[in-house]
Amino acid sequence: MPSPSRIITLTTDFGSQDYYVSAMKAVILGISPGVRFVDISHDLPPQDIMAGAWVLKNTAFLYPPGTIHLAVIDPGVGGTRRPVLVQVRDQLFVGPNNGLFSLVAESEDHRVFELTETRYWRETVSPTFHGRDIFAPVAAWLSKGEPPEHFGSELKELTAYRWAKPIADDEGVQGWVMHIDRYGNLITNIPESFIRQYDRESMFKIYVGNTILKEISETFSEVPDGEAVALVGSSGMLEIAINKGNAQQMLGVEKGAPVSLVIQKSVS
């Protein structure tokens, strides 16, 4: 168990116009007034578990040891999904067991605890707002040094989201758009390692929607304004973007769309 942190991050699809985020912070401060909040995002697409998992994967392990990540994207709130606490490396995650923590726990040793000890909850629990009434107080008690084992029994498995995996063979790579950021960049499930495994003399044609790209660039600015570009982004995954534009809108491509890299052998 890492040393307790006074940092609690929040990741939700609650937006900023309602009271939901503020209510969670108020509950936490009532228990642990010295915490430091970091709002990772509250503008994720409503009920988009995959988007939340992607954001957590790319941010969580940058935080100091013992950081507590309170994440609530919970379309099944009040249903059969379980509230959990997940320990991965030196980070702690609190939220629903609905696949939201799939990517942070993927290929990592982790422990999962079901949040059954109601003494750590608010006295009255709304069936539609576990973020305020279960997850927020649990995060607060964690920040005060309460060990994970005190919150409930350990579970053998964490619910996994069914993530599509890219397929690679001698002809190239078949992948899919798995996330679209606020700039409209199409982030695929194809990691840089899949691209680098091919001979350096090999060249690709990249097919996405009705667009064909003939190379993988290093930066957005390698193509003229308004042109499509393929590159490996900061997440280490292949992205399709429009230089100073929105690829989602301009290419008419949505999440789940196929992206194909077909090898074109150079002719000597």
Annotate 164-182 with b (16+ C-beta within 10 A) or e (fewer): eebebeeebbbbbbbbbbe
Is the residue at 1 inside a domain? Answer: no
How many CB atoms are closer than 10 A to CB 216? 18
Residues 6+ apart with CB under 8 A from 174: 166, 167, 168, 258, 259, 260, 261
Q: Which residues of 70-93 are buried (b: 16+ CB within 10 A; e: fewer)?
A: bbbbbeebeeebbbbbbbbeebbb
CA angle 135, 138, 140 (to 5 degrees): 110
Q: Is residue 2 part of a domain?
A: no
Among the candidates 126, 155, 184, a domain finishes at: 155
Per-residue pLDDT of the chain (268 residues; tens, 9 = 90+): 555 568 999 999 999 999 999 999 999 999 999 999 999 999 999 999 999 999 999 999 999 999 999 999 999 999 999 999 999 999 999 999 999 999 999 889 999 999 999 999 999 999 999 999 999 999 999 999 999 999 999 999 898 877 778 998 888 899 999 999 999 999 999 999 888 877 655 578 999 999 999 889 999 999 999 999 999 999 999 999 999 999 999 999 999 999 999 987 655 4
Question: In terms of C-beta density within 10 A (0-12 exposed, 13-18 middle, 19 or more buried), how is residue 59 classed?
Answer: middle
Out of 122, 155, 188, a domain closes at 155
Q: Are residues 89 and 24 in the same domain?
A: yes
What is the structure's pLDDT at 196?
82
Record the tokens describing residue 249, joined without a space: 């809108």
From CA 27, how far away is CA 162, in angstroms rounded?
A: 33
Whether residue 161 lies inside any domain: the answer is no
Is residue 213 classed as helix, strand or coil in its secondary structure? strand
**Residue 220, token pair as written in the block:** 């957005």
Of 155, 200, 126, the closest CA to residue 135 belongs to: 126
Q: How far is CA 243 from CA 43, 55, 174, 219, 226, in A?
A: 24, 23, 24, 9, 5
Provide the domain limits for residue 29: 7-155
Specify whether 22 is located in the same domain as 145.
yes
Q: How far apart are CA 235 and CA 77, in angstroms?
A: 30
Residue that terminates a domain, selected from 155, 183, 199? 155
Please tell me whether residues 29 and 144 are part of one structural domain. yes
- Alpha carbon distance 56, 89 (integer Å): 14
How long a stretch of residues is the chain?
268
Q: Report pTM.
A: 0.89
The tally of domains found in the chain comes to 2
pLDDT of residue 4: 59
Phi, psi of 206 (to 5 degrees): -110, 120
Can you tell me the distance from the alpha carbon of 62 to that of 47, in angstroms, rounded to the nearest whole number? 25
102 found inside a domain: yes
Is the domain of 58 the same as that of 34?
yes
Q: How many Å apart are CA 227 and CA 243, to the nearest integer?
A: 6
Task: Indicate whether 230 and 147 sit together in one domain.
Answer: no
